[in-house]
């Protein structure tokens, strides 16, 4: 919300540069990492693909713009694409070889686990006055391994001559910020200090996926749908931090 220029430059302008280069060289199949943020404050949950798109932040608006660009490229150039609308990607490689490493880190689960490991003093919770059972935002968390599997299925769909499609990617289960912290405490067996902060602009109260379409059409099934498993895999990655920081 504070740097909309960066989102429009990266997600819109740079994607257009890429798509135009692909078009010039006859590459007309594309998998796009979209987002649940295109729905804004959804009409109902779980959210199905046909719901109205009214994004409430620059991130969601920039992604929705590219989805519309891809529709125009299909009409004009025969450009086929699969847009995968991620809900909250989380977790890590079950074997601990790969995981999240953002600088700065912005995602809830790794931030909570940094607080559990002692790399962070506390976890900030932005708003506890939302219209949800415990007042904190509710999100649908999808394991990164399941997200990767969906990408492979989308690629196979396009390579087999499939037409453009739009799919939600989530587990269909919603967990509040406080519930995620409670699960992290149980998994890590560590204390996690919470500091309440004011709401952030652009955060919808609830985002939960209806992913039945990709399940029906591409036979996608989440392998790691349990939140405790997602957190446990992310915790395994967090515990490798000291090793990673010295290599």
Active site residues: 59
Q: How far apart are CA 208 and CA 197, in angstroms?
A: 23
Q: Which residues contact 176 (CB under 8 A, 6 or more apart)?
A: 132, 133, 134, 136, 137, 138
Q: How far apart are CA 13 and CA 35, in angstroms?
A: 18
Strand pairing class (80-86; 29-35): parallel
What count of other Cβ atoms lies within 10 Å of the Cβ of residue 3? 9
Question: Hey, what are 148's tokens?
Answer: 């990767």
């Amino acid at each position: 919300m504070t740097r909309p220029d960066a989102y429009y430059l990266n997600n819109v302008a740079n994607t257009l540069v890429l798509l135009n280069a692909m078009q010039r060289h006859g590459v007309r199949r594309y998998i796009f990492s979209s987002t649940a943020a295109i729905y804004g404050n959804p009409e109902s949950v779980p959210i199905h693909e046909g719901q109205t798109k009214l994004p409430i932040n620059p991130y969601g608006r920039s992604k929705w713009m590219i989805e519309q660009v891809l529709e125009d490229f299909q009409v004009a150039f025969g450009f086929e694409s699969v847009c995968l609308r991620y809900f909250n990607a989380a977790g890590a490689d079950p074997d601990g070889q790969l995981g999240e490493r953002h600088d700065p880190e912005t995602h809830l689960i790794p931030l909570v686990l940094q607080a559990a490991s002692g790399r962070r003093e506390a976890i900030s919770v932005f708003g506890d006055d939302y219209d949800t059972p415990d007042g904190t935002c509710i999100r649908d968390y999808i394991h990164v391994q399941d997200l990767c599997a969906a990408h492979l299925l989308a690629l196979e769909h396009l390579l087999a001559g499939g037409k453009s499609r739009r799919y939600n990617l989530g587990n269909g289960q919603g967990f509040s910020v406080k519930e995620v912290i409670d699960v992290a405490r149980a998994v890590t067996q560590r204390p996690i200090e919470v500091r309440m902060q004011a709401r952030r602009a652009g955060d919808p109260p609830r985002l939960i996926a209806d992913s039945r379409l990709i399940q029906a059409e591409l036979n996608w099934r989440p392998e790691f749908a349990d939140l405790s498993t997602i957190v446990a895999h992310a915790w395994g990655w967090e515990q490798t931090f000291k090793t990673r920081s010295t290599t």
